[in-house]
Every structure is written in structure tokens, then in C-alpha cells.
Amino acid sequence: MLTLILYNVTNGLMLGAFYVLMALGLSLILNLSNVINFAHGNFLALGAYMALELTKVVGFWGAFLIAPLLTALFGVAVELLMRFVYRRDPVYSLLLTFGLAFVMQGLMLWWWGPTPQEMHMVPALEAPVSADLFFITWYRVFMVAIVIVTVIGVFAFLRYTRVGLRIRAGTLDLDTVSALGVNVKLLRTFNFTMGCLLAGLSGVLATGAIGINPNMGDDLLMPSFIAIIIGGVGSLTGTLFGGLLIGVTAALTAAVYPAASEVVIFVMLVLVLLIRPRGLMGEEGMLT
């Protein structure tokens, strides 16, 4: 019984870790560039496929390091396209990423086919932590550890570096930042790339948890949205909190009433929209 609960909870926490990582990436892009990256789930899948291919060449650890970077590089290329539409009505940037999602999905489907593929995991990671808790493999621990490190890294970067400061200022008032002489175009590119890096990293981490297929990121996209809305648009801390909240809530619900663990996320969304539409940590006046 306890084992079952623990099983569900660990699953939930793992899921929550993915939610957080994905939501953070989405939030970064959203806050600075005012763009909803519909292709974010596809970037995750791209990261996974990159890892799959790279493992054959440089082994798992090599893939782990390089795949997110390659994904980020692809993100740079995408962002260059986005530059055409930043000035215009937001509908265009949304449609652009929406179309991009289709393109990426279609291309990945075409290149790698629809059958899910398995990743050859490093044997050491596949081993469980203890005999009793067989479902907690070292991989899961590794995964959660990486997520924690990454999140701390992102926040530290934003807080303590100059670029991070500019990004934070830019989310509040990009025009002023530009007037201060900062190259806003470069800033946006960098920010977008960081978001894609996080998505790519999620993809790499996902290879050890779920099968690799072109749709793998889709199920994470919506919860990431919800995490952002619940946490409060415009606030990265809010997103973090939102991601954790839905992750944990889903985990706990899974322990008690597994069938409801997906619904509960939507329920929370509706509750937040009803009671505190700006999100838990959103600023009033964060209208865009």
C-alpha cells in the first residue's frame, strides 16, 4: 500500500519536474518576447531525438551535454524568423510558432517515423536505488537532481549576471532597456535560445522515462501553460511555483485517486481564473 502511494508520488514528482522545466522555458520566452511558443513540445522531442542519435556516436553523457545545445542552436535559427513578426500584432507570432510546431512535427515524423524508439540507457542509471523501492531508479534521482540544478542555475543567472538583469528588465519594459543601449535583438535571441535549451534538456531527460516519438512533448505543453497561468504570467518565480504546485498536486492526487490526477490540473486552472485571475504571483497590470 505504502509502496503504491510512493510509486504514484514519485511518478508525480518526476512529471512535476518536467512540468517545471518546460514551463520555465515557455515562461522565459513568453515574458520577454511576448510569444507563446507552440513548438515548445516539439523542441523537447527534438532534444530527445538528438540525444538518441548522438548516443550512438558519443555515448549517453556526450549526448546529454550536446543534444540540448544542438536544440538551442535550432532555436537560434527559429528566432531569426521570429524577428520578422515581433513588431506586429501578437497573432502573427502565435501563428508562426503554431505553424512551426506543425513543421517540426511533420519533419520529425518523416525522418524518424512514428514508432516510439527506445534509448539505451547507461546501465548504472537503470539500477534501482534500493531493492524495496524498485521504481526509484538512479535515473530518476539523476533526473530530479539535474532539474533542481538547472532551475537554480537559471534563477541564479537571471539574478546575478548582467545579461540576466537585462532580461529581467526587458520583461518589464523592453523599450527602456533598448533606450539604454542594450542590443534588444540579441537579448531576445539569447532568451529564446535559453528557453529552447531548457526544452531540449527536458527532451534528453525524457528519453530515460518515456518512449521517443514525435508527439512526446505534446502532453507536457498544456500543463506548462497552466503552470504559467496559475503561477502568474510575467513572473518566473510564479511559473516555478505553478509548475511545482501542479506537479505535486498531480502526484498527491495520483496517490489517492489516480484517475483524477490529470483533471485536477484543469480544476486548479479554473479555480485560479475564478478567484485570482492574475495568478498566484502575477502582478496586477500584467495585462500582456
Partner 1 sequence: MSSATAIAARDEQPLYRRWLPLAVMSLALITAPLWFPRLGGYTALASGVLVFGLAAMGLNLLLGFTGVLSFGHAAYFGLGAYGAGLMLKYVAPSTPLAILVGTLLGGLAGTLFGLLIVRRRGVYFAMCTIAFGQIFYYIAYKWNDFTGGFDGLRGFHREPIGFGALAFDITNDTPFYYFTLLVFAIAVALMGLLLRSPFGRTLRAIRENERRARFLGIPVERHIWLSFSISCFFTALAGTLYALLNNFADPLALHYSQSGYFVIMAVLGGMRSFWGPLLGAAVFWVLKDFLSSALPTEWMAFLGAIFMLSVLFFPRGMLGMLKRRGVE
The answer to whether the CB of 70 falls within 8 A of the CB of 50 is: yes
Strand partners, 212: 117
CA distances from 244 to 157, 230, 248, 282 (A): 20, 11, 6, 16
CB of 258 to partner 1, least distance (A): 13
Site for partner 1 in 107-126 (CB under 8 A): 107, 109-110
Shortest gap between Cβ of 108 and partner 1 (angstroms)? Answer: 9
| Residue 17 binding partner 1, by CB under 8 A | no
Q: Does 101 bind partner 1 (CB under 8 A)?
A: yes
For 228-242, b where at least 16 C-beta lie within 10 A, e where not — what string?
bbbbbbbbbebbbbb
Our finding on whether 99 is near partner 1 (CB under 8 A) is yes
Site string for partner 1, 29-68 (x = CB under 8 A): -x---xxx-x------------------------------
- Selected binder of partner 1 within 3, 65, 84, 161 (CB under 8 A): 84
| Residue with smaller CB distance to partner 1, 100 or 254 | 100
264 is an interface residue for partner 1 by CB under 8 A: no
* Window of 13-21, 127-135, 174-182, 259-267 that interacts with partner 1 by CB under 8 A: 259-267
Residues 6+ apart with CB under 8 A from 13: 144, 247, 248, 251
Give me the least distance between CB of 96 and partner 1, in Å please: 5
| Site membership for partner 1, residue 90 (CB under 8 A) | yes
| Count of residues touching partner 1 (by CB under 8 A) | 45
What Cα–Cα distance (Å) separates residue 66 from each residue in 175, 192, 219?
Answer: 35, 18, 24
Q: Is 229 in the site for partner 1 (CB under 8 A)?
A: yes
With vertex at residue 189, the alpha carbon angle to CA 166 and CA 237, rounded to the nearest 5 degrees, is 50
Interaction of residue 146 with partner 1, rule CB under 8 A:
no
Identified binder of partner 1 from the candidate list 15, 28, 226, 251, rule CB under 8 A: 226
Residue positions counted in the chain = 288
List CB contacts of 217: < 8 A, sequence separation 6 or more.
22, 40, 41, 42, 43, 44, 45, 199, 202, 203
**What does the binding site for partner 1 look like in residue numbers (CB under 8 A)?**
30, 34-36, 38, 81, 84-85, 88-92, 94-96, 98-107, 109-110, 222, 225-226, 228-229, 233, 262-263, 266, 269-270, 273-274, 277, 286-288
